[in-house]
Structure 1
Amino acid sequence: MNLSEPDLINYCKQNNAAAQRQLYQLYVQGILKLCLRYLNNQTDIEDITQHTFEKAFRKIGTFQYQGDGSLKAWLHRITINECLMHIRKSKTFQISFINEESWPEDQIEHPENELQTSNPLELKQVLECIRKLPDGYRTVLNLYVFDEMKHEAIAQILGISINTSKSQLSRARKLLKQLLNNAS
């Protein structure tokens, strides 16, 4: 069965097992890679991927197709939400509040230059370094850089202050720069 995206969605809405299998096969690798940005534990990554597809198949009836890419975007939003729920429930997730007020304001407001390194690295190396960041740093970095969220939204999602989100991003970038320099 090789269906177009609109047909695939319609068959999935009818609980067609072959269509669900095709949807899974089309998107599972991307979902796994997305989970890998947020989580370090392989079992958690596999569990969240499974939860994502379970939820998608349960909620596909509410999905409104809006053209190419809308299904992928919808699945990514479910995945990110599942990862964030897992992180919030996890006892390992910690935001560093150490001396937040003394963090240089210019680095909090303008951390863009912190990631510039003199050595070009492959994307794989960059992603490996991101995975080495503490959970709180990694989560804020992912939400800000990859998911293009504003600090206000990050703060609301994670239950932290806007300044904490800014300082976590700045610290994540500083640590990531060190990790990248050491990797090259």
Structure 2
Amino acid sequence: MIAREVLVKWVKGCQNGDEKAQSAFYNHYKKRLMGICLRYARTTFEAEDIFQEAFIKVFQKMGELKQPEAVHYWIKSVVVRTAIDHYRKNKSSGLLADTDQPELMQDDIDPFNILDQLENEEILALISALPDGYRVVINLYLIDGYEHHEIAELLGISIGTSKSQLSRAKRFLRNILHEKGVTAYE
């Protein structure tokens, strides 16, 4: 992990247009942020587009960052919002059917117990296999920690639709895992 002082120095360098600081900052964050992009994208190519667009925004808006020590949270937010914007621009109609009724699901199965049995690459592949609406909602809710009202606002859907998409995504993942022979009871 990079020392806080070094990170603050890079941020201030980026704010002043220092190319060495920008390069160091980019290299430090590229793997982590590309991982976020891969979770939201359907393909690696799409993830790379989101990543490049996000980093352009990061460097353009770096001057607005008032607390350089909070850069980690800020940059993650920029990347997630860029992925959401990309999703909104490219979504097909019907991916997020507007329904106010969340579907019933088995809440007694903890998806994280099941996921413990898998490698990181397998988990990423499972998330990537989800239909667009499911993938976006499950990323926002389970991984990035957004609440349903925040997801609804970000995506322009109802809270019920957010809950429904999460429920459907979990069921979809459960079915895929079951087909692979992975269960909650192993």
Work out the CA distance in 2 between the residues paired with 1:73 and 1:118.
25
- Give a deviation string over 1:35-59, Cα, whole Å, max 9, x none: 0010012222111111111111111
Contact 2:91 2:132 in 1 (8 A): no
User: 1:73 — aligned with what?
Assistant: 73
Report the TM-score, using the length of structure 2 for normalisation.
Answer: 0.84
Contact 2:8 2:68 in 1 (8 A): no
Which range moves more in the overlay, 133-142 or 123-132? 123-132
Aligned residue identity for 2:60: R
User: 2:96 — aligned with what?
Assistant: 95
Residue 179 of structure 1 and its aligned partner are, at CA, apart by 1.2
- Give a deviation string over 1:108-142, Cα, whole Å, max 9, x none: xx746263549822232122111101000111111
Work out the CA distance in 2 between the residues paired with 1:53 and 1:102.
36
Question: Which of 53, 56, 80 is residue 54 of structure 1 equivalent to?
Answer: 56
Which residues of 2 match residues 100-119 of structure 1 at below 5 A?
A: 101=101, 103-104=103-104, 107=105, 111=107, 113=109, 115=111, 117=114
Work out the CA distance in 2 between the residues paired with 1:153 and 1:53.
23
Count of residue pairs brought into register by the alignment: 176
User: 1:166 — aligned with what?
Assistant: 163
Work out the CA distance in 1 between the residues paired with 2:122 and 2:49.
25
Work out the CA distance in 1 between the residues paired with 2:164 and 2:108.
13
Question: Which of 140, 146, 151 is residue 148 of structure 2 equivalent to?
Answer: 151
Aligned residue identity for 1:148: G
Contact 2:53 2:82 in 1 (8 A): yes
Work out the CA distance in 2 between the residues paired with 1:118 and 1:45.
23
| Unaligned ranges ≥5, structure 1 | none
Work out the CA distance in 1 between the residues paired with 2:116 and 2:28.
35
- Give a deviation string over 1:76-99, Cα, whole Å, max 9, x none: 1111011000100103371145x7
User: 1:175 — aligned with what?
Assistant: 172
SS, match of residue 109 in structure 2: helix
SS, match of residue 113 in structure 1: coil
User: 1:140 — aligned with what?
Assistant: 137
Contact 1:114 1:177 in 2 (8 A): no
Report the TM-score, using the length of structure 1 for normalisation.
Answer: 0.85
Pairwise CA RMSD: 2.5
Aligned residue identity for 2:131: P
Contact 1:131 1:138 in 2 (8 A): yes
1:38 and 2:48 matched = no
Aligned residue identity for 1:175: F
| Unaligned ranges ≥5, structure 2 | 182-186
Distance change in 2, residues 1:162/1:71 (3 Å): same
